[in-house]
Amino acid sequence: MQTRHAIQIEGLTIVYTSRKQSYTAVHDLSLQVTDGETVGFLGANGAGKTTTIKMLLHFITPTRGRAWLYGVPCEQPRARQKVGYMPEQPYFPRYLTPRELLAAHAALAGVPAHETKYRVELALELARADHFAHRPIGKLSKGMTQRVALAQALVGNPQLLILDEPASGLDPVSRVEMRNVLQVLKEQGKTIFLSSHHLGEVELICDRVAIIHQGRLLAFGAPDELTQQTDRYVIIAEKVNADVERTLRSLCSNVRRDGFQVVAVTHQEQVYEVTHLLAKAQAHLISLVQQRETLEEAFLRIVQSAPVTTFADKAA
């Protein structure tokens, strides 16, 4: 049953206890990631994303619950046979070059000796880290180090990639490049489990999204399932004269002229009035579409509607 899933988590809970109190960092988390899927793991800082990943990779032992990677219990080393992991803030020995680092990681990942050179070059090229692969890691910028970290995750040709904030601290250009690389990996059929703060990017590449808040899984589904229709409508019209445009500005928000067209956003209550105004002025209504939430809006709605758990509650 479990082998169909790249990741299977059942009731994963971790409680940190000290002498005076205990603190539940992840509470009864259950989810499955199907092979070949790209799943975004979203949550605010301290929500439990990295802790969950640490439990999956057996860096820490859960208090309760279990997890499997391709059907193998995650506490067994062979569970990580098909895994490539990119940590949130990658640190590598500063004196090594990316090429040397990747050669070592190829050996750790079980890549045969005769394939190592090919795998290293392929990973460097895929992560776009090949042009600085001869420089010591200590002399690379943060963006370059992130790419080395991605190459390191890819060098064993893993089927499952666990990426913890891969775009963290990257400039917009590097972020787009990172997204493009992930898109290529997705097209290659890799399973990607991606923890991120950049909701726009997650929305663009993820098949499903899991939202975790204060250690609890609040929602898990496709972005279309998580986002809702709003009460906002986008109106595009042509042949709108200056008087009508002025009236539109009083009824709608975000009115802008785009060539011959006028684009406006209005609320449900004003839709009839706006369309009537346009018809009366003999303007051409090109489209009238109900707007959907962005993933960011859905995330905020879901998180804000969750019951507030104080530190004391969690401790209890």
Partner 1 sequence: MPRAFFALVKLSFLEAVRRQILHVMVLLSLVVMTIAGTVSFFDLGVQVKIVKDTGMVMLLLAGSLSVVFLLSGALFHDIEQRTIYPVLARPIPRGLYLVARYTGALAAVYAGMTLMATTLIALLWVHLHYVSGLAVVAIAFTYLEVALVGALTVLLSTFFAPAMTATLTLFLYLLGSLKMGYLHHLAERNVGFARWVITTTSAALPNMEAFRFKDALVHDLTVPVSYLLLVGVYGICYSAACVALSIWSFGRREV
| DSSP 8-state secondary structure symbol assigned to residue 88 | S
Please say whether the beta carbons of 86 and 164 come within 8 A.
yes
**Residues found near partner 1 in the complex (CB under 8 A):** 57-61, 77-81, 83, 85-87, 89-93, 95-96, 103-105, 107-110, 113, 149, 152-153, 156, 162
- C-beta of 66 vs 301, nearer to partner 1: 66
- Smallest separation, CB 91 to partner 1 (Å): 5
- C-beta of 2 vs 183, nearer to partner 1: 2
- Smallest separation, CB 216 to partner 1 (Å): 22
Cα angle: 217, vertex 313, 8; to 5 degrees: 25
Closest CA to 284 of 314, 240, 248: 240
- C-beta of 111 vs 303, nearer to partner 1: 111
Alpha carbon distance 316, 231 (integer Å): 40
287 φ, ψ to 5°? -155, 155
Strand order in the sheet with 83-86: 83-86, 160-164, 191-196, 38-42, 208-213, 216-221
60 φ, ψ to 5°? -130, 155
- C-beta of 42 vs 86, nearer to partner 1: 86
User: Would you tell me how many other CB atoms lie within 10 Å of the CB of residue 223?
Assistant: 20
- Smallest separation, CB 116 to partner 1 (Å): 9
- C-beta of 103 vs 237, nearer to partner 1: 103
Cα angle: 136, vertex 139, 140; to 5 degrees: 95
- Smallest separation, CB 119 to partner 1 (Å): 13
Closest CA to 97 of 124, 126, 125: 124
Dihedral-angle region of residue 60 (phi above 0 means left; psi in -120 to 50 means alpha; beta otherwise): beta
Question: Tokens at residue 174, please?
Answer: 């590097």
Alpha carbon distance 190, 159 (integer Å): 5
User: Would you tell me how many other CB atoms lie within 10 Å of the CB of residue 42?
Assistant: 30
Alpha carbon distance 208, 226 (integer Å): 9
- C-beta of 54 vs 232, nearer to partner 1: 54
- Smallest separation, CB 108 to partner 1 (Å): 4
- C-beta of 25 vs 212, nearer to partner 1: 25
- Smallest separation, CB 48 to partner 1 (Å): 15
* The pairing of beta strand 191-196 with beta strand 38-42: parallel
- Smallest separation, CB 78 to partner 1 (Å): 5
- C-beta of 109 vs 192, nearer to partner 1: 109
- Smallest separation, CB 178 to partner 1 (Å): 17
